Structure formats: C-alpha cells, structure tokens
C-alpha cells in the first residue's frame, strides 16, 4: 500500500517553497519544478532512513505531521490564491510513495508519482 502524501508549493515572487505536510519536510528553490523534485528526493531519503530504525520509531516518524496551523494556513493560502487567480502562485499536489513499513524499503525514483 502506497503512502499518499499531501504537499503544497508556493512562490513569494522570488523563490519557491514546497512542503510535505504529512511528514513535515520542506525545501526551497528557484522554480516550481526544482522544489518539487527536491521534495521528492527529501521524502525518498527520509523514508529510506526509516528502514533501519525500530518499528516504533518508524511509526512515530511516519505520523509526524506539520503543525495543524501550518497545514491550515497552506491549504487556505493556496486555495485562495487559486480561486482569486492571484499572481502569487500556489499549488497543492500529492506524492505517492511506497510505504517502507510494508515493502521493507523504498523504490527507485521512477516508482514515485505526483498528482
């Protein structure tokens, strides 16, 4: 069973930030594609690092979400900017990644998808 991880990306006009709110992982970069790819890589490395941990620690780190107020702020900001067609772009997307607790590890980058 794959993990469906909620992610957001937004620009402040000069740079982009992408954050996976389900794992509390974020990255910065010059473009949307750059931060999405960087976030994919960060998530992949995080999940790979869980492989050698005790099961209790794996579960704890897989359920470490960004604080509720960060998730609410991102959802509202990205949703509002999309509805209003503002120049400050934002985007919500999902990353599907193999669950390391079920498969025993992660798959190569071609095994991940973004929707």
Contacts of 86 (CB under 8 A, 6+ apart): 80
Bridge-based pairing of strands 2-11 and 90-98 is antiparallel
Q: How far apart are the C-alpha atoms of 37 and 29, rounded to whole Å?
A: 10
CB atoms within 10 A of CB 115: 8
Q: Which neighbouring-strand residues pair with 90?
A: 10
44 touches 51 (CB < 8 A): no
pLDDT tens string 23-72: 999 999 999 899 999 999 999 999 999 888 999 998 888 888 988 888 88
Which pLDDT value is given to residue 76? 81
CB atoms within 10 A of CB 93: 17
Query: What confidence category does residue 111 fall into, taking pLDDT thresholds of 50, 70 and 90?
Result: very low
pTM over 0.85: no
């Amino acid at each position: 069973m794959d993990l469906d991880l909620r992610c957001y990306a937004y620009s402040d006009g000069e740079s982009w930030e992408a954050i996976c709110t389900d794992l509390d992982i974020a990255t910065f970069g010059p473009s949307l594609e750059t931060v999405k790819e960087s976030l994919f890589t960060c998530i992949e490395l995080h999940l790979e690092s869980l492989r050698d941990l005790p099961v209790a620690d794996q579960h704890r780190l897989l359920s470490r979400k960004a604080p509720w107020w960060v998730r609410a702020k991102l959802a509202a900001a990205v949703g509002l900017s999309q509805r209003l067609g503002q120049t400050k772009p934002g985007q919500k997307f999902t990353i599907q990644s193999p669950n390391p607790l079920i498969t025993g590890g992660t798959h190569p980058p071609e095994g991940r998808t973004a929707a």
